[in-house]
Structure 1
């Protein structure tokens, strides 16, 4: 796919995705969401890719929100379909991606931008980042999973406060409440995300996939998370990586995993 709104590059088995609408503070429009959906499909299906790093172009914004001009005249049915399509093809797809996805939050992450970051498995923020869900200021509520994922990450009370006041919080406050994993100077943001992904790349790929599936199951109302863990644990015993990992441990050497 020839991308117009994102930049996509695979380096050392990592897919780098950059929302490339700096003049619009990387706001999400329909075309950008479609390109993100395609990039995440690529990451999920390409065996070479071991992880994904998502960030925004420039130093001002990760994603400053959705492109309001596209839906300001929508009906109830159109609004519901907008949220449903976005959740299914992009936000839920990121969360379900079997490769670890890290958001490198460089500046403003507001509305759909914070929802995008929360859909990722981990979040690293630059020290100048500002995060928030200001939708109630527009007569809306978050529609891309924001009410659900924010509650999961920071708890009900803090989620209600952030959403109903529409206040932005600083990166340090976001780290304090568990919304982001780390806060670093902006110049070190990508390097910190790469450091984490480099550690993950040393581990067994199929085990990483199983762990992500089991952890996601813990938050699903339709799945028994403990049973999902048992099944994923069992699957590991049928992999060559399990044999390599246990053999390397017994031989007191570093394992070399094949992803098989």
Structure 2
């Protein structure tokens, strides 16, 4: 299977649909799939405003394909110097990190399992529409690893340090309904309603002027790191850009 076979990209005007396509292994992920995801992020048309991420078949993704751990990758990383090894790991992180770009709004459509890297992929998205019978689990610590695809910060930001620690170190499964109550899910609906809910959410996002959506996402992304004064300054700067843009458009 080629990289493009394992991750499918479909374009529909301002909407890009990214689908993991290994249903026979519940969309278990490989470094080759991460390379494909990274390239998709780099190559998207500037006309794209929303990205929908889903998994083909019954599960979103059960995480890292365990054959990767028994393959050549661990030995390759061990043989590299620190700079080269970190660059390789950053290339994996890039596969998910682009979904946070302010010019894009990303939506994960999650049915079935979202485990390990699958959960981290869902967390990388701005919105998570979960089936109420979805099953989420942090799998990495149980394998002697850490969630290193952006999952630690995003989970702690969403549900707090203590609850994130509990989920990471116990590896217990969270249902879609509990994920909603914890704050991991944006919305939880019956499995058959996931696609329609995602489409409604995307239409609502597209109804907002693009520059306002970009500025708003940028403000929210920096809010945790800013103190009140810095966030107010960022809001003023964003508002000035928008108001000046309106003035220029009116001339």
TM-score range, shorter chain: 0.7 to 0.9
| CA distances 1:138-163 after superposition (whole Å, capped 9, x unpaired) | 11111112221110011111100000
In the other structure, the counterpart of 2:26 is 25
Distance 1:95 1:160, change over 3 A: same
- Whether the aligned pair in 1 keeps the contact of 2:50 and 2:105 (CA below 8 Å) is yes
CA pair 228-68 structure 1, distance change in 2 beyond 3 A: farther
List 4+ stretches of structure 1 deviating above 4 A: 75-82, 240-244
Q: 2 CA distance for matches of 1:241 and 1:65?
A: 48
- Alignment partner, residue 90 of structure 2: 84
Given that residues 102 and 215 in structure 2 are in contact (C-alpha distance below 8 angstroms), is that contact kept between their aligned partners in structure 1?
no
TM-score scaled to structure 2, two decimals? 0.86
Cα shift readout 1:44-99 (whole Å, capped 9, x = no counterpart): xx23222111000012x111101232244345558755532222x22221112511
Does residue 1:140 correspond to 2:148, yes or no?
A: no
**TM-score, with normalisation over the residues of structure 1?**
0.84
Of Structure 1 and Structure 2, which has the larger fraction of its residues in helix? 2
* Residues 205/135 of structure 1: CA separation in 2 closer, same or farther (3 Å cut): same
What residue is the counterpart of 1:65 in the other structure? 63
Q: Secondary structure at the match of 2:118?
A: helix
CA change 1:79–1:148 in 2 (3 A) is: farther
Q: Tell me the distance in 2 between the aligned counterparts of 1:112 and 1:242.
A: 45
1:253 aligns with none
Q: Please, which of 234, 237, 244 is the counterpart of residue 238 of structure 1?
A: 244
Superposed, 1:88-167 pairs within 5 Å as 89-167=94-172
Greater mean alpha carbon deviation, residues 152-161 or residues 228-237: 228-237
Counterpart of 1:212 (choices 217, 222, 225) is 217
> In 2, distance between residues paired with 1:243 and 1:104?
37
CA change 1:140–1:234 in 2 (3 A) is same
| Distance 1:25-1:53 versus aligned 2 partners, 3 A rule | same
Distance in structure 2 (CA, Å) of the matches to 1:7 and 1:153: 29
**1:216–1:241 distance in 2 versus 1, CA, 3 Å:** farther
Correspondent of 2:233 among 227, 244, 247 = 227
SS of 1:213 mapped into structure 2 = helix
Q: Deviations over 1:140-194 (max 9, x none)?
A: 1111122211100111111000001011110000000000011112221111011
Report if aligned partners of 2:3, 2:32 keep a CA contact under 8 Å in 1: no
Question: Gaps spanning 5+ residues in structure 2: where?
Answer: none
Q: Distance in 2 between matches of 1:242 and 1:23?
A: 54
